[in-house]
Structure 1
Amino acid sequence: MDAKPPFKDPDVAAKFASFPGAARQGLLTLRRLIYRTAETTPRVGPLEETLKWGQPAYLTPQTKSGSTIRLGLPKGGGFAIYTHCQTSILADFQNQFPDDFIYEGNRGIHFRDGEALPLDKLRLLVRHALTHHLKRRG
């Protein structure tokens, strides 16, 4: 499995290894996007990768700048990226791109296996989530 950066938590690595092949590739692409966005966004700091609700989750424990981002498999197939449902993160993104994605209410975006991901647009969502608390603090 081509995981960059390498997994630090063996439980997270095992979770990725358990995902079906095509979904795993999409989820690894989203994982790389999350890490790259964190590295290039001021005041985010290092990420913690862990499992929350059995899904890979990305937090900003040192700076507390962001809201948790999770990756997983929706019941209908494919793969997904999730934000905290009690924030406006996904609603704000959906206002920008109302017809570009398959939304799951105010919590997630679903993708089909093998689908090319619009990384430039998704980078905006990830950046918004990783800096959510910075905006609220002013």
Structure 2
Amino acid sequence: MSRNDPPFADPAVAACFQAVPEPARSGMLALRRLIFETAAETPGVGALQETLKWGQPAYLTPETKSGSTIRIGLPKQGGYAIYAHCQTSIIPDFRSLFPDDFAFEGNRAIHFPDDVPPPAEPLRLLIRNALTYHLRRKQGAA
């Protein structure tokens, strides 16, 4: 962990990260840092809750209910990944902007090779869209 990493509030989440082998752990921690940074700089998101869902670190917006859950974890084929709810348009919307830049798993995930850090700038858009998914849908319906 670097000095910029937020502390773990949940010991089970900390243990989950600790159990991930390097170099995937570094990539997952970089995604975690990016999720917290993006949440902090995005109006309407509020405090994040970091918990485990399906054994993977998951990030929710319980205070504002502005977003859809984001998870990070280890796909079966290796590497590490960021996941969004497959019944949302989060991944398809992102894929329409970056069709050839990422390894997509259907409507639910983006995979990264173990030894490649996640590209922060394009992923901020994905994370921001996930953390404001419900907020944006409400505004669109108004």
User: Would the TM-score normalized by the shorter structure come out above 0.5?
Assistant: yes
Deviates more, 1:3-12 or 1:92-101: 3-12
TM-score, normalised via structure 2 length? 0.95
Q: CA RMSD in A?
A: 0.9
- CA drift of 1:125 comes to 0.1
Aligned to 1:80: 81
* Structure-2 residue corresponding to 1:98: 99
CA contact (8 A) 2:83 2:109 kept: yes
Give the CA deviation at 1:2: 3.8
- Separation in 2 of the partners of 1:57 and 1:129? 12
Moved over 4 A (4+): none
Q: Which amino acid aligns with 1:27?
A: M
Residue of structure 1 in register with 2:45 after alignment: 44
Secondary structure at the aligned position of 1:6 is classed as coil
Cα deviation for residue 77 of structure 1 reads 0.4
- Could you tell me which runs of 5 or more consecutive residues in structure 1 were left unpaired when the two chains were aligned: none
> How far did 1:121 drift?
0.2
Q: Distance in 1 between matches of 2:28 and 2:21?
A: 10
Which residue of 1 is the match for residue 12 of structure 2? 11
Moved more, 53-62 or 111-120: 111-120
> Structure 2: how far apart are the matches of 1:109 and 1:35?
18
Q: CA separation in 2, counterparts of 1:24 and 1:118?
A: 16
Q: Check the 8 A contact 2:30/2:117 in 1, yes or no.
A: no
Amino acid at match of 1:103: F
Q: Which structure 2 segments of 5+ residues have no match?
A: none
Q: Output one character per residue of 1:39-58: Cα deviation in whole Å (capped at 9) or x when no partner.
A: 00000000000000000000
C-alpha displacement at 1:34, in angstroms?
0.1
What's the TM-score, normalizing by structure 1? Answer: 0.98
Q: Aligned-pair distance for 1:117?
A: 2.1
Q: Which secondary structure state, in structure 1, belongs to the residue aligned with residue 23 of structure 2?
A: helix
| Mapped partners of 1:6, 1:135: distance in 2 | 29
Aligned to 2:117: 116
Distance between the aligned counterparts of 1:15 and 1:75, measured in 2? 16
- Distance (Å, rounded) in 2 between the aligned partners of 1:2 and 1:19: 16
Specify the code of the residue in structure 1 equivalent to 2:73.
G
How big is the shift at 1:68?
Answer: 0.1
